[in-house]
């Protein structure tokens, strides 16, 4: 295993693990993220936070580094957070961010699902190397969106 990208992993690992509860974390290549692959081309992750929230959520800088290292120029981030403070500039992820606000603990509208599926499929169809990274504050909404969209053929 290579060097850890951030020196505070050991200290911050405990609160992040508590927030993740029994969920599997991505702990490879020096990363420790609330993140997983539900398909080789679909990543579901916790909110990429800044400031104090980094104590218990994914640090945004670490998510950036992960995506740049594992999927350079081939990732697109879909943000399903509905809170204005959880919106961020697309420049953070090299201009590849789309917001689909879904209220916490709720399901998206049918039109939101259709639009998301069309945009995700267009990105994935453009290159076999393309991946999508989905996040919101509470991951349950993402699994619902993913289950609707999994019928797309992603060879």
**Cβ atoms within 10 Å of 64's Cβ, excluding its own:** 15
Question: What predicted TM-score, i.e. pTM, was given to this entire model?
Answer: 0.77
Answer yes or no: is pLDDT of 138 > 90.
no
Give tens-digit pLDDT for 8-50: 444 454 444 444 445 577 888 888 899 989 899 999 998 999 9
Cβ atoms of residues 11 and 30 within 8 Å: no
Mean pLDDT of 139-155: 53
The helix (run of H) or strand (run of E) holding residue 79 is strand 75-79
| Percentage of the chain lying above the pLDDT 70 cut | 72
Distance from C-alpha of 75 to C-alpha of 115, rounded to nearest angstrom? 18
What does DSSP assign to residue 26? Answer: B
Q: What is the rounded (10 degree) CA torsion for 113, 86, 46, 66?
A: 100
Q: For residues 81 and 31, give the distance between their C-alpha atoms in angstroms, rounded to a whole number.
A: 23
- What is the arithmetic mean of pLDDT over 62-91? 92
Looking at residue 3, its pLDDT comes to 42
Flag whether pLDDT at 93 surpasses 50: yes
What are the catalytic residues? Answer: 136
- Domains along the sequence of the chain with CATH: 9-149 (3.90.190.10)
């Amino acid at each position: 295993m290579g060097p850890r990208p951030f020196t505070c992993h050991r200290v911050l690992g405990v609160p992040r693990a508590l927030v993740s509860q029994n969920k599997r974390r991505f702990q490879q290549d020096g990363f420790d993220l609330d993140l997983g692959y539900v398909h080789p081309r679909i990543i579901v992750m916790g909110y990429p936070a800044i400031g104090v929230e980094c104590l218990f959520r994914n640090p945004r800088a670490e998510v950036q580094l992960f995506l740049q290292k594992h999927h350079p120029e081939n990732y697109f981030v879909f943000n399903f957070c509905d809170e204005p403070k959880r919106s961020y500039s697309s420049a953070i992820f090299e201009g590849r961010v789309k917001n689909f606000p879904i209220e916490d603990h709720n399901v998206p509208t049918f039109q939101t699902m259709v639009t998301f599926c069309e945009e995700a499929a267009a990105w994935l169809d453009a290159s076999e190397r393309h991946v999508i990274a989905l996040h919101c504050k509470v991951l349950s909404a993402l699994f619902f969106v993913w289950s609707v969209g999994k019928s797309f053929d992603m060879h």
